[in-house]
Structure 1
Amino acid sequence: MATSLPDRSLVRAWLASLPGSSFQILFPALDKVLFEETIETAYHDRHPLLHPDVLSARACLWATLAVVALLRKSGRFSSLVSREMCAERAQYFVELYIDHDHSPNDIHFVQACFLLHKYRIAIGQYETASYMLSTAHSGVERLNGHLHHAMEHGSNVEPSLLERRRNHLRKLFWLCYTHVQDLVLPSDLRTRSVTQKPDLRDPDRHLGHDVFLQLPGENFDIEIMGSIAWERILSFLPGDPHLGLLKEKVYELLYSPSALEIIDSELLIRIRQLDDELEDWRLAIPPVLRPKLSITPVQGILWNHTFSSYLRSVQLQLEYHFLVTFIHTPVRRFGATQGQHTVLPEELHSAMHSSIDLSLEASRSTLRLLREPIAMVKQDTFWRATMYPIVAAMPLFLDILIHPHDGRREEDIDLILSASEVVEKLRKQCVTEYENRHIEQTSEFLRELVRHAYGAVVAG
């Protein structure tokens, strides 16, 4: 039955098995103390089934279990529950909540929608994922999570339950905000349903890097590491809110409809401004996590002192090159507003080549990193696993068409080919036909780029 729940002791055993630091990394949308409330409400028989508190708590519980089942590769829990069954039951309770005209003014409901968004993204169901993110984002707004509030006590003082709930709601806002930017920038998927301007003053307070800089003694124990499918974890890590702010600015200044009409000099000013802001962000990252300017053929991400900091380093390195590519690729539009035969001024011509070189090197760095023997990158969840190589491959492919006799063409074609091989490896993890079809289409698209690139070199 859709209304039944798993054994309560099993849920509590799973919750107790995760230390606080690993819980924050794996489930940033949950607060371990507040989740105890969720469990109590979900299993409480004092309220009728259709009571809004029960519906939202059960939706949150099942959405959490869906993610657990996705990430766990061993253990009693993963052998007893199906990830898709958990997701379907979470969706069932979310829809019941909405159908009974309950306004999304419940933090359990917001968490359920956000976790379902992450789950659906992980298996490639982007339209459903976008809808769930939009619902979570609007729910955060109704609860005033988009508004900044001062802390009542210092960070060393245990917060009251009310303050903990308010702080966690603000964290949920930043999670929703950063994920909206992740969808809008590469795909122009419109997930924004907020109607009020958010307050963006406190990004470091709720989604900083501290949890990834734990001491080795506080690291995940071997048993936990062995039972979690780390190859799927990268896309579940909390994003960097400063990158979310920058992604929104990149879209508005370079890719929005109005940005497509600006003159070349203004476009150059915007590119330089955004490049400076990205570099400021990179230098502000703690040295152990800081992205490198490029990844050479003999270089990769070195293992730093903990597994969690290593994961964060890989995530930030990919995100850094992703944004370098998006910031500098628009120089290809120079001259577009003046006509086909426009001769660019020397300054613009020089700036264009400089930006093209940066975007190409960022693309090469991404593809070099993806083809290294890093399991959690090669077998990452579908949104990132397919988006990173496609975004990286396109500037290289375009440059091959324009300059087929450049000395690096063989290396660039090999890198694009390796991207298709990275994506193809994901087939082993496909569970649904939707996943398999998506991977097949992405891999075929990259192989088609390779065929046309070879053709351009031969014909040139």
Structure 2
Amino acid sequence: MNSPEPRKRTARACDSCYRRKIKCDATLPQCNWCSHHNLPCTFDRVVQRKRKPENDDSNHPKSSRLSERISRIEQLLAENLMRESNSEPMDYTHIIDDNPININTTNTTASNSPSSTSVSSISNQPILSSSVGVHFAGRELGVISLLTGIPFLLPEGQEWIQARTGQTISSEKLSPSRVPWEKERGQSSNETMMNLRNDDLFELPDRRSVQMYFDAYKQSRVMRRLFPVVDIELFAETINEAYRQPKSGFEFGQASTRACIIAFAAFVARLPPVVQIIRRLSSTALQVDHEILSSKAQFLLSQVMQEPASLEGAQAVTMLTLYEVSSGNMRATNYFAAIAARLIFMLGGNLNSNKLYSNSKHDRRRQQQVRNLFWICYTMDKDVALRIGQPPTIADENCDLTLPPGYAEHAFLDPEDAKLSHSQPSFQFDLRLSIIKSRTHTALYSVGAIQKSDADLLKSIRELDDELEEWRLSIPPQWRPTMSFSAEASDPNVTMHSIMLRLNYYLCMSIIHSASSRCKAWRQGNGMLDGVNSSLALSVEASRSTLCYLEAGEHVLVEGIFWVLVYYPISAFLSIFCSILSNPLDPRSRDDLERLNMATVMMERIFHRKLPASEIGHFKLVADFVAEMKRLAECAVDKAWREQSAGSLLPQ
């Protein structure tokens, strides 16, 4: 007897929406998507559907389940982009696991979003598998889009927060269209560019101004060690060569030299110690507009990429990368860091310069400077990857990660020590800690790591924790971060250097142990749960230490540090917020609430005071984000205590 043919049914989504995995409203003669993009709206395909046993996922390989998860997230992100492209608020029904969930969304104009790409610009290409899950205690609360760096709450994440707090979430504040630690400079930089005349785009700044900033940079031993963006002798030659060129226009091969000068002036003009030296040297110092210079250097970048790779070109793009991260523009930072890495690889910077043979002292200086640029870009690459959830651009297996000679010995010496050579940079981030960051991403957050079993995941966490502890113990005692820092503690050696060291140590501790939130043990309740719970507790404690140490070091923070530092307290806020919602009756939850209250005041006091007048407006986005988390955390604790007092059970 022949087996019955599978049932056939008419498709409920049009062909265009089906291919893009977009919810179709099936309106005739054209659905909303096809009408918006002027596409033919057809229902020609025939869908064959086979019944399968319920709850039978035993035959689904991990890769299949991961693919389904990614497709589901991409559908939500696509609909979110559609929403932002329309002028009116829309109501979407998200189909998740065959259960309809209605979500009322609020429109945000595209001009305020770092992902201001219109829907039409992505209609002809598939949406990339580009998202990293945000987990806490076994729950996937949301994702960070690799395409935009935007935190995005999934429906179940919103439902969990609402269930724990009894409050309606303000999507604009808690799941904003722009990541709170990123400043959107696209519009302002475009206006700057449009205001420049064509002949201005090629002109170098006044040589006296450049020389004054160069002299101030040379005098600032701290900045030269933290940011060895140029070699003093070689850059003096670059200045001479650039100013021998015609004032307007230049020959092929000269764009890199000119861009290097302009990018240098833009970057060092943002360094507070350099600015202070200039003010001390001359009361009539020639000030430069770093915004205009940055725009001019970016304009020249297209020509730099047409020229052969050169030290000057690599320095220009590296300094633009540093300029953008200090300005809070993480999207541009991400792009420039990738370009800089490619240039440096072409120049051999990923190789150990001490092993490269050259008879010329001049060539050896150039090789050493390329290697310095490599380490700057390497540390930035790993830091940016953590901030926006993107995989690093620089793969460790393609690099010789031998540390500079004597690095471990001189990295923590006083920068003003006369015994130190100017050729011994310490860099903004500890190189060894950056290597641990890189391994953390590979072992815990890469595509392969997401598919690890609980046992393999916990094994990786233990190995990385051991490596991080080995690094901590290698630090001289007066600089060594404590495993935990409380409000009652003190640090007599607190400096900007120690602040950056501690914040990055606690960040590494947090991201290593927060990966335990992905373990299935949370749902299965097996014997492994105690170890998983302890790991997550270490992550939350590291976040507490971040806020406490930042408050302890408030008095040494310098101007212009807002965009570099703001990521650390906000990421700590998120971890503590989730901890409070997960265990609102825990004795520490009340203390954590008080910690969030104090940190909110501290952040406003620090960052509002350190921001220039032109950037005060953006702080409202950060303040709203933090205030909403604090409000919801308070509601969660109050709700839990009311329910306990009433003798009701706390919903899980």
With the length of structure 1 as denominator, give the TM-score of the two structures.
0.83
* Cα separation, 2, equivalents of 1:93 and 1:146: 25
Letter in 2 for 1:421: V
Tell me what 1:223 maps to. none
Matched, 1:110 2:322: no
Shift of the alpha carbon at 1:206?
Answer: 8.6
Structure 1 residues 3 and 362 mapped into 2: Cα distance closer, same or farther (>3 Å)?
same
| Secondary structure of 2:405 counterpart | helix
Tell me what 1:232 maps to. none
Shift of the alpha carbon at 1:92?
Answer: 2.4
* Cα separation, 1, equivalents of 2:535 and 2:514: 7
Structure 1: gaps spanning 5 or more residues: 221-235, 305-309
Aligned partners of 2:263 and 2:293 also within 8 Å: yes
Letter in 1 for 2:446: S
Q: State the aligned residue count.
A: 426
Matched, 1:255 2:445: yes
Q: Which of 546, 552, 570 is residue 390 of structure 1 equivalent to?
A: 570
Tell me what 1:333 maps to. 518
Structure 2: gaps spanning 5 or more residues: 1-199, 421-425, 641-652
* Cα separation, 1, equivalents of 2:403 and 2:303: 34
Tell me what 1:312 maps to. 497
Give the alignment of 1:79-98 within 5 angstroms. 80-98=287-305
- 1:104-162 Cα offsets, whole Å, 9 max, x none, are x1111111111111111111111111111111011001112112243579xxxx98111
Shift of the alpha carbon at 1:459?
Answer: 0.6
* Cα separation, 1, equivalents of 2:243 and 2:406: 30
Structure 1 residues 430 and 240 mapped into 2: Cα distance closer, same or farther (>3 Å)?
same
- 1:255-286 Cα offsets, whole Å, 9 max, x none, are 12222222211111111000000011111223
| Secondary structure of 2:269 counterpart | helix
Tell me what 1:175 maps to. 376
Aligned partners of 1:400 and 1:409 also within 8 Å: yes
Tell me what 1:292 maps to. 482
Aligned partners of 2:326 and 2:561 also within 8 Å: yes
Aligned partners of 2:442 and 2:449 also within 8 Å: yes
Letter in 2 for 1:68: V
Matched, 1:273 2:469: no
Shift of the alpha carbon at 1:23?
Answer: 4.4
Q: Which of 358, 363, 366 is residue 543 of structure 2 equivalent to?
A: 363
Structure 1 residues 377 and 328 mapped into 2: Cα distance closer, same or farther (>3 Å)?
farther
Matched, 1:15 2:250: no
Structure 1 residues 415 and 79 mapped into 2: Cα distance closer, same or farther (>3 Å)?
farther
Aligned partners of 2:546 and 2:569 also within 8 Å: yes
Aligned partners of 1:207 and 1:239 also within 8 Å: no
Tell me what 1:123 maps to. 327
Aligned partners of 1:171 and 1:206 also within 8 Å: no
Aligned partners of 2:318 and 2:337 also within 8 Å: yes
Matched, 1:324 2:506: no
Matched, 1:400 2:580: yes
Structure 1 residues 210 and 169 mapped into 2: Cα distance closer, same or farther (>3 Å)?
same
Structure 1 residues 33 and 90 mapped into 2: Cα distance closer, same or farther (>3 Å)?
same
Tell me what 2:203 maps to. 4
* Cα separation, 1, equivalents of 2:600 and 2:548: 13
Tell me what 1:224 maps to. none
* Cα separation, 2, equivalents of 1:300 and 1:185: 28
Letter in 2 for 1:62: I
Shift of the alpha carbon at 1:49?
Answer: 3.9
Letter in 2 for 1:54: Q
Aligned partners of 1:378 and 1:385 also within 8 Å: no
The RMSD of aligned alpha carbons is 3.1
Matched, 1:185 2:389: no
* Cα separation, 2, equivalents of 1:44 and 1:330: 55
Tell me what 2:525 maps to. 343
* Cα separation, 2, equivalents of 1:185 and 1:422: 24
Letter in 2 for 1:119: Y
Aligned partners of 1:114 and 1:133 also within 8 Å: yes
Q: Which of 314, 327, 347 is residue 143 of structure 1 equivalent to?
A: 347
**Larger CA deviation: 209-218 vs 254-263:** 209-218
Structure 1 residues 207 and 94 mapped into 2: Cα distance closer, same or farther (>3 Å)?
farther
Tell me what 2:240 maps to. 40
- 1:277-325 Cα offsets, whole Å, 9 max, x none, are 0011111223332222121212233227xxxxx3322211111000000
* Cα separation, 2, equivalents of 1:195 and 1:412: 38
Structure 1 residues 419 and 119 mapped into 2: Cα distance closer, same or farther (>3 Å)?
farther
Structure 1 residues 343 and 408 mapped into 2: Cα distance closer, same or farther (>3 Å)?
closer
Letter in 1 for 2:388: S
* Cα separation, 1, equivalents of 2:537 and 2:483: 13
- 1:152-210 Cα offsets, whole Å, 9 max, x none, are 79xxxx98111111111112112111111111123223562x69952233124396562
Aligned partners of 1:134 and 1:191 also within 8 Å: no
Letter in 2 for 1:292: T
Structure 1 residues 84 and 178 mapped into 2: Cα distance closer, same or farther (>3 Å)?
same
* Cα separation, 2, equivalents of 1:172 and 1:288: 29
Aligned partners of 1:297 and 1:368 also within 8 Å: yes
| Secondary structure of 1:313 counterpart | helix
* Cα separation, 1, equivalents of 2:328 and 2:250: 31
| Secondary structure of 2:369 counterpart | helix
Structure 1 residues 197 and 15 mapped into 2: Cα distance closer, same or farther (>3 Å)?
same
Shift of the alpha carbon at 1:68?
Answer: 2.0
Tell me what 1:54 maps to. 254
* Cα separation, 2, equivalents of 1:312 and 1:219: 19
* Cα separation, 2, equivalents of 1:378 and 1:8: 28
* Cα separation, 1, equivalents of 2:327 and 2:492: 29
| Secondary structure of 2:204 counterpart | coil
Letter in 2 for 1:251: H
With the length of structure 2 as denominator, give the TM-score of the two structures.
0.60
Aligned partners of 1:379 and 1:385 also within 8 Å: no
Give the alignment of 1:71-82 within 5 angstroms. 71-72=271-272, 73-74=275-276, 75=279, 76=282, 80-82=287-289
Identity %: 29
Letter in 2 for 1:342: Q
* Cα separation, 1, equivalents of 2:576 and 2:505: 17
* Cα separation, 2, equivalents of 1:237 and 1:371: 24
**Larger CA deviation: 262-271 vs 286-295:** 286-295
Structure 1 residues 78 and 278 mapped into 2: Cα distance closer, same or farther (>3 Å)?
farther
More strand by share: 2
Aligned partners of 1:133 and 1:191 also within 8 Å: no
